[in-house]
Amino acid sequence: MSDNEARVLDALDEAETVRLLAELVRVPSVTGTDAESDLQHRCGSLLAEAGLDVDAWKLDLDTLRAAPGFPGTEAPRVEGYGVVGVTEGEGDPALVLQGHVDVVPTGDLARWQGGDPFGARISGNVLHGRGACDMKAGLAANLAVVAALRRSGVRLVRPLAVHCVVGEEDGGLGAFATLARGHRGEAAVITEPTGGAIIAAAAGALTFRIEVAGRAAHGATRYEGVNALEVFWPVFEAIRRLEADRNRDPDPVFDGNPLPYPIEVGTVRAGDWSSSVPDLLVAEGRLGVRLDEDPAEARLALEGAIAEIGHPWLREHPPAVTWPGGQFASGRLPAGHELLDQVAAAVADVTGARPAESAAPYGSDLRLYVAGGIPALHYGPGDVRLAHAPREQVDLRELRDVTRALALLVLRRCGVRD
């Protein structure tokens, strides 16, 4: 390890990073809310305090929605902000560290220990709270690296860029807007939770809506009607068959994951009166997109599976399939790209072991960066199996190790001035 690397690692303040993570978690930045904007403003201030040149702007939502390739949204939104900080240096950024500030809703508050999802409760080496894992620990690591650079006095030859984005959870609006504004870099590390592994490929996910018609009748004479819930069951069975078919012989990069392309129905709504036969059921869910698959082909697969159902009522009254909300294509780091080995070497120098390599079964901003010509991968603190749940948490020792590895990566990719 070089003297400059040692200086920057010594400048990393572990206690300060934990305090920063707690501060981030305590902002209830659910996708599309005012608190999401508040946290973007705070990130911009932190980047400016670290000496970066900060570009902070209000998103033109109408223009973005009309742009080719718009990734879709699900949460209501009246505003959004972009924040990018860039260190001094020559040329385009040699590396981008990227993180999203938004989190998913909390769900039933009674299921959270202590009843406060945003309390940032610390127990031993673990910090609990909504967003602790997905992905405010990664965001804190990015911010801690630039603070350590400023504190150490080490100057980079090539710039480092830090992208803080909104709207990742419902499609990727913030990343899309950041790239549309012209922010670039030679490569990007998105500090999503990876459990110590490097994720060099991510499947996609498309939000679907299925409307199944029934025929209304009084509940006392239900034989005169057709229950939309009952005729939805063949649709659900067709979805499960399609899921099994699409997950045969998955790409080896998923490292034994038995279901890399899940299809799930997340919400079902039917009926408007307890003593009436429901004449409409609306189901919404997500369809996994296979690596390198055109999302249009994935949509056709679901639409075709539903069209082929042999149920007599459904043949006469075919379900309507539409595609609202977030539309995540798949993406992957180009084969043989040097970034993977560079990240792995930095991790090994911190932990003493080369990290595992795998792929993610969910959509992320990775595909937008790769499609925009910026090779990207995931590496960050936290276990994604704990995300989006009332047990969400992150191990603070993992946060420490990831922050140190990212600091080494920044110095080695960007270079250090004499």
Paired tokens of 251: 């790409």
CA dihedral 398, 403, 409, 410 (to 10 degrees): 160
Is the pLDDT at 255 greater than 90, yes or no? no
What are the start-end ranges of the E strands in 218-289? 263-270, 280-289
Q: Which is it for strands 160-165 and 393-395: parallel, antiparallel or unpaired?
A: unpaired
Query: Same CATH topology for 3-202+330-417 and 205-326?
Result: no
* Cβ atoms within 10 Å of 63's Cβ, excluding its own: 11
Q: What is the CATH number of domain 3-202+330-417?
A: 3.40.630.10
User: For the residues 195-205, what does the mean pLDDT come to?
Assistant: 96
Q: What is the CATH number of domain 205-326?
A: 3.30.70.360
Q: Domain locations in the chain?
A: 3-202+330-417, 205-326
Query: Could you tell me where the DSSP H helices lie in 281-327?
Result: 295-307, 312-316
Q: 85-99 b/e with 16+ CB inside 10 Å = b?
A: bbbebeeebbbbbbb
Per residue, the 3-state secondary structure of 171-210, as one string, reads: CCHHHHHHHHCCCCCCCEEECCCCCCCEEEEECEEEEEEE
CB-based contact 43:83 (threshold 8 Å): yes
pLDDT band at 98 (very low <50, low <70, confident <90, very high): very high
CB-based contact 202:347 (threshold 8 Å): no
Q: What are 362-390's pLDDT values in tens digits? A: 999 999 999 999 999 999 999 999 999 99
Q: How far is CA 16 from CA 143, 156, 301, 385, 399, in A?
A: 11, 23, 49, 26, 12
pLDDT given for residue 1 in this prediction: 84
H and E: helices and strands count for the chain: 12, 17
Is the pLDDT at 418 greater than 90, yes or no? no
pTM of the model: 0.94
